[in-house]
Structures are given as structure tokens and as C-alpha cells.
Structure 1
Amino acid sequence: MKKQFYIAVAFLLSALSYAQTNSYKFDFGTGKAQKGYIKITPDTKYTTQADYGFVSGSKVEAVDRGTAGLTGNYITGKGPFYFSVKVPEGNYDVKLILGDVKGASATSIRAECRRLMLPQVTTKQGEIIEKTFTVHVKDSLLRDANGAVVSKVRIKPREKNYLHWDNVLTIEFNDSLPKICAIEIIPNKMATTIFLAGDSTVVDQPEDPYASWGQMFPSFLVPSKVAVANYAESGETLKAFENEKRFEKIFSLAKAGDYLFIEFTHNDQKPGPNHLDAFTTYKETVKKWIAEARNRKMIPVLVTSTNRRKFDADGHIENTLLDYPEALRQTAKEENVALIDLAAMSKIFYEALGEKESVKAFVHYPANTYPNQAKALEDNTHFNPYGAYELANCVVSSIRRQNLPLAKFIRKDVIDYNPANPTPVDKFYWPQSGFVSSVKPDGN
């Protein structure tokens, strides 16, 4: 009995230790730390030896308002700044206390590779508010049921510099007047997870001006209830996604009731070793992953790929995706799987803007708009933040219109959206990230 007692105590202590190392409370500012909170000052720097701190290059300052409690002081910055915390992979609720007891504030929050969590959050003079978002943190290791590492995802050289795959949660604070009083990070093992499998039009693009609908998607969803786990990558095909063990990684983490979104075409349609024929091998491969998801009691959702921006003489979008959207529509019917027809909706969106104005949804910028950009950017496949946000709106509106079970996870304040009547470009707000590049993503 004694031995069993000691084993039970040891297990409990181990569990408590695990919880403590995965839950954090941070008090931002130079005042005395509140009980149970870790004090964060401008000098708290993240290193490979430290578990938390500001990322190198973050220019921040502390302001002390001379009042007690978490809200008596805060940290701010004149440009984007980044705070990182080392945590195991999984879903986390991040609770933020924002505002200023003696002033106003404006804060936009993104996580990992510019994943939009909270668009501009403003507080009035003297107002303090609490906001929560739910984020998925990932690494590249594959583990068995006992947690032992058995393999790893084969990531590309460019991915090694991404702010994911690293067991570190990185939060970007941005906007004209960010004021951060406190952060609490709590593991969330109950949230439904939406896993995204796709290419450059889905991935969390790491640098402005590039963006995708996948990295905008989390901002539309109810925190704590659902998390978006974006495993898409630029240049991917269905075959490459499998060969690099990205599907295997998703399945190693998924639980019953989680979702798997599948969106591939742009690269699968090209000649080469990863080419798949629309009505034969493409459909067969998609059906294979539908079956794999269902075997794990996941819910598959198919997404037709976004159209490229190519107009004909009559002002309509030409179909450069060939038979692949139709093949996916057929697959959805044959397998009784939900379909989000982003090909159809993106066509409506581009045509609503028109040939001239639609460049404002893509990475089209004159030379020298961004550092080391000697030539104009004219990319008709990849989106800027405005285009990406509108396409995320399309995904959300399709979920609602079809009354899919996922609709319960959409925030109630998200208004109905029609791609034929897109948000005016000048009404979209996106403060530029601290990470900028004119290097085009893989794929086209």
C-alpha cells in the first residue's frame, strides 16, 4: 500500500509540475509583480536558455501609472514587438489584459507567423479590457502514444526560420498604441481543432506583403472552443504533403471530432513527379485522405482552390485550374463530404473588384515599396492581407450558408459576407508586421 501511495504522490507531483511548466501568468511593467505572476520588464529577453521574453529587435518601454494591481503599469512600443514563451505543442488559451488607466490604446494581435488573432482592439481613456484567443503551437517531431519521438516532418530550408515548428509561442503586438498589462497562457485540451492541409494560398505566410486565408481564419472564430492548426506550406502537392509526413503529423495530434480541411490544386496540376490527374489520381488521393481522417473519427472538409487572377477580354476570370475544382466537387458528393467552393467564390470576388481594382487583393506593388525590392511585384496567385482576409470571409460565409456544424464556432459579431459585394479596400486595416520580404513563396 505504501508503495502504491508513493507512486500516486509521485504521479500527482509530476502532473502538477507539468501543468506549472505549461501555464504562465505574466505581469507586464516595472512595478511589483502581482502574486502568482512573473514580472516582465523591457529587459526580459528571450534566449535559447530562457523560457520567455521579448524577441531580439523588439523595442519596448514600460509605463508606470502609479496605481496598484496588474493594470497599474504596462509595456508598449512604437513599432511591432514580439513576446515568446517556450511551450510544448498543443492548443493554448491566451488571456490578455489591455488598456491604460490614464489613457487610450489600440492593439492588434497576431501569433506565430502573422496568424491574425485579434484585429484592432481599442480602449477608451481609462478603460481596461480582457481579451482571449486560442492558438495552436506545433513542432516538427512525430511521437508515439507514449510521447517518444519516432520520426519528424521533413520541412524545407525556408521553414526553419518560421515562427512555428519550434515549441515556442510567439505573440506579435502591433498597431498605433499597444498597451499590454498582463498575459495568461493556459493549455486547452478540450478545444476542437481545425487542421488545415494545403499550399501557399492557405499557409501562414511569414512575411508582409504576402498572406493567405488560412492565417486570417482564426480571427473569425470563438476562442476557447476551437483552434486553427495550419499545417499548409507553400509549393505543396497532395503527394509531397504525404511524403514529407505532414499528414502523418496531423493525424498524430488529432482527436475525435477534429476537422481536416484539404485544399490542393495549384501545384498538383503541374507536370512533374507530383502531378495528379484531376479525375483519376487526384480524386483517388483525396479519397484516401478522407478515409484516413474518418478512421480517426475526424471530420473531413474539402476546399476548392482559389482562382488565379487572369481576366479574359469580357472581364471574367479564366479557369486556370482546369478540371480540378470539378473533380473535387464530384469527390465531395461521392464521399458525402462538406465542400467549401472557394474557386467559385474567389471568381465572384475578383470580378466584383474588376480587372483593375483586383490587383489590390494581390501582391502587386511598385519597385522599392519594400526593402531590397528593385523590381515591381506582380503576383497573380498570392494575396496580400486584404485579399487573404476577404477569402477567409468567403470560407466563413460558406460554412454559415451551408449550416455546417462548424457554424457554431463562428463569432456572433461576424457579419454576413457576400463576395459579390466585397469590403472596400480602404476600409481594411492591417498594420504592417516587423517581418517583410519581396521573395515570392513557392508555387504559382
Structure 2
Amino acid sequence: MASRRRGGRGAQLGAAGLLTLATLAGTGAAHSAAAAPQALPAGCSGTSSITCRYAVAPGNYDVTVSIGGASAGQTEMWAEARRLMLPATRTAAGAVATYSFTVNVRQPEGQPTGQGGTGNPGLDLRFTGSGPQVSAVSVKPASQPLVAYLAGDSTVCDQPVAPYTGWGQMITPSLRPGAVIANYGDSGESSGSFLSNSALLPALLAKVKVNDPVFIQFGHNDKQTSASAYRNNLTTMISRVRAKGGVPVLVTPPVRRLFDGNRLTPTALHVNGVNVNLPAEMRAVGTAQRVPVVDLTARSKALVESLGPSASAQLFLRSSVDGVTDNTHFSQYGATQMGALLLRSIREQNLPLAAHLR
């Protein structure tokens, strides 16, 4: 990723072969409401898009929301810097459904270096969809949640403005309450720059508790990194995470959409400018350090090549739809697919987060 993409307080306190994220539809506690509340909950405002703001300190919070009302509606919920918490969910007229999540609150609320803006202090919730309805919101401090940390670049990070979307902001609906994603992904970062910037790995490590998983994905911006430097950077991250009692997990980078005929090119597969096969080097580090590796390069390669040069464009950014052509960064749909590939690996490999997935 050569470029770095991003895009008053309230109440006190797919196609065949494609994967889908676990949705929450049908998992909420639903009941009929004889007369749904007409007024929005305290701290909330808006109509076609409803924003709720709560003046809380940085930390992790258990959030319970009730959606629905007197008329039928469709509601999706986003937290902080455009992290999806509830996929689009329909409610019938007179019905209310209740859902719970754990949300990480930081300042800046999105990318740690503040790219794209630092957001608002406290907790922001946004309800969108065709007829969003919010009848109740509860926010309380979470008690010792499992925090899964993400270390990565713009393909991982919380992108605040569509169409750019990182897979890290699309896996959040799949976590049960009591587990939460803390996304420290930051646009433009390489394995070396993430180590050296005080807002990135040092800030992440300051929060890590014993048994917290830390998912580490780098490669897109290691275009001129030597094999030895790349291995050393990853090994250093692993050692520092372990020193804090965390559980490191390596994630090979997802592919770019660069075809030669019907096959992806070496550049798409992260063979860099000095002929280093970065995913192979990461797998070797995983073996040497006895760290699990999620091979997102292999999984995304299989997906992108199965779709082919034309259909795979929907995973990335298209000028006809998004106003820009970009074969590295994901659309919301593409980020959802990449997140689903990661979640499938977590389940199949029984990684630390597996027991906390819906």
C-alpha cells in the first residue's frame, strides 16, 4: 500500500464459493412490542442515520441495544471508526430485538497515528440502514474481556470513510460479548515501521494482558525489505508480545488483484522488489518460533483466482462503483470476505479466539 488511506458529547456514563461473516440475525432476543417507544434513547439523535454518543473513558464496554419499533425497519450498527457491530437486520412492525457486544474505545478511535481523523472522545454508535430504529441502549464497563489485538496495515485497519474497508473492522460482529477487537492496524505501515512508532506496537503492548491474542499481518508495505530484516522484525514482535503474556498469531498478507492471464502474478502474491517471498518467510518464522500462522495469502489466492480477473474486482475498489480503481484495498464486500477467511482459519486451527466466536 503505497498510499495511506482513511478516509459535543451525549449521555453520560454470497455468490457460490464465497464466504459470509457470521451474522447476528436471528440471535437477538426478540419480542413483540405493543407500542414501541417513539423517542430515541438518551444520547441519541437523527432519523435516517442515528448517532448515539456517550462520554466514557478509553477502555472496553459492554453495549446492549434494542432495535425495532411500531413500524417495520432494517438496522445496522457501527461503533467508533466505522467498525461493524450488527449487520443489516430486519425487524417486523411492533417487534423489538436485543443484541449485545463488547466495544473497544480508544483515542484516537481509529488508526493509532490519527490518519483520517481522531474521531470524538468517548463512545460513538451509529445506526444506519433502510429505516434504522433504536429503542434502547445500555453501556457499562466490561469486566476482564478477552481482547484480540490486530497489528497491520491499511488492509487490516479501521477505515473511517467508505469505500475503503479493512478486514479488521468487519470481523467484529462475529465475537461474542466478553471478547473484543482492538484494531491497531495503521495505513502504510511495514513490519519495521510498526515496530519503531511509539503509537503502534509500543502502545499495543502497553495494553496486552496474559492470554490476549495478537494477530500480526505485514507485507504490503515491505516492498524493499530484505528477508533477514523481515524475519527479524516479525521475531522481535513475537518476543515482545510473549514478554507481556500475549499469544502471537502470524497472518500472511491477502493478495493483490494483479493477474497474468487467469493466475495471480508474483507481485500479487507478495514476492517483493528484492525477490523476497514474504508469505514464505512468515511461515518459516512461524515454524521456527512455534507460532501459529493463518495463511491468508493462500486462502485469498484461492478465492480471487476462483473468481477470475473480472468477477474478483468486486472484492477491491472499482471506478464504476467506488469512484476509484484500486487492486490492493478492499471494498466493504471484499473486507467481509477476507475477514470470513480469517475467521474460518481461526476455527479450523482452534486458535485462542475460536471459543469466543458466535
Which TM bucket (shorter chain)? 0.7 to 0.9
1:316 to 230, 252, 263: 263
Q: Distance in 2 between matches of 1:205 and 1:176?
A: 22
Distance 1:118 1:140, change over 3 A: closer
TM-score by length of 1: 0.68
Distance 1:296 1:132, change over 3 A: same
Secondary structure in structure 1 of the residue aligned to 2:343: helix
Q: Paired residue for 1:83?
A: 52
Q: CA deviation at 1:67?
A: 7.6
Please give the residue correspondences for 1:11-90 in structure 2 after superposition, counting only pairs within 5 Å.
Answer: 47=8, 50-52=9-11, 71-75=36-40, 78-90=47-59
Matched, 1:260 2:208: no
1:113 and 1:205 in contact (8 A); partners too = yes
Q: CA deviation at 1:256?
A: 0.8
Q: Paired residue for 2:196?
A: 243
When Rg is computed on C-alpha atoms for both structures, the one with the higher figure is 1
Q: Deviations over 1:182-210 (max 9, x none)?
A: 11111113110011010010001111111
Q: Paired residue for 2:104?
A: 136
Q: Distance in 1 between matches of 2:311 and 2:34?
A: 50
Q: CA deviation at 1:90?
A: 1.1
2:112 and 2:185 in contact (8 A); partners too = no
Q: Paired residue for 2:328?
A: 381
Q: Paired residue for 2:113?
A: 155
Q: Paired residue for 1:121?
A: 89
2:195 and 2:233 in contact (8 A); partners too = no
1:213 and 1:391 in contact (8 A); partners too = yes
Q: Distance in 1 between matches of 2:348 and 2:311?
A: 27
Q: Distance in 2 between matches of 1:402 and 1:112?
A: 30
Q: Paired residue for 1:233?
A: 186
Q: Which amino acid aligns with 1:290?
A: I
Q: Paired residue for 1:391?
A: 338
1:362 and 1:381 in contact (8 A); partners too = yes
Q: Distance in 2 between matches of 1:221 and 1:238?
A: 27
Percentage of matched positions with identical amino acids = 34
Q: Deviations over 1:40-67 (max 9, x none)?
A: xxxxxxx1xx4549xxxxxxxxxxxx98
Q: Paired residue for 1:277?
A: 226
Q: CA deviation at 1:242?
A: 2.4
Q: Deviations over 1:341-394 (max 9, x none)?
A: 11111101111211111111111123xx66xxxxx5110000100000000000
Q: Distance in 2 between matches of 1:328 and 1:78?
A: 48
Matched, 1:303 2:251: yes
1:182 to 114, 136, 156: 136
Q: Deviations over 1:246-299 (max 9, x none)?
A: 1111111111111111101111223xxxxx312x11111111111111111100
Secondary structure in structure 1 of the residue aligned to 2:287: helix
Aligned length: 318
Q: Distance in 2 between matches of 1:342 and 1:253?
A: 26
Q: Distance in 1 between matches of 2:72 and 2:155?
A: 36
1:201 and 1:382 in contact (8 A); partners too = yes
Secondary structure in structure 1 of the residue aligned to 2:253: coil
1:78 and 1:176 in contact (8 A); partners too = no
1:263 and 1:302 in contact (8 A); partners too = yes
Q: Which amino acid aligns with 1:230?
A: N
Q: CA deviation at 1:154?
A: 7.7
1:162 and 1:206 in contact (8 A); partners too = no
* Unaligned 5+ runs, structure 2: 1-7, 13-32, 272-276
Q: Which amino acid aligns with 2:56?
A: V
1:256 and 1:297 in contact (8 A); partners too = yes
CA RMSD of aligned residues (A): 2.2
Q: Distance in 2 between matches of 1:364 and 1:183?
A: 37
* Unaligned 5+ runs, structure 1: 1-46, 54-65, 142-152, 271-275, 371-375, 412-444
1:292 to 226, 240, 256: 240
Secondary structure in structure 1 of the residue aligned to 2:78: strand
Secondary structure in structure 2 of the residue aligned to 1:377: coil
Q: Distance in 2 between matches of 1:194 and 1:405?
A: 9
Q: Which amino acid aligns with 2:315?
A: A
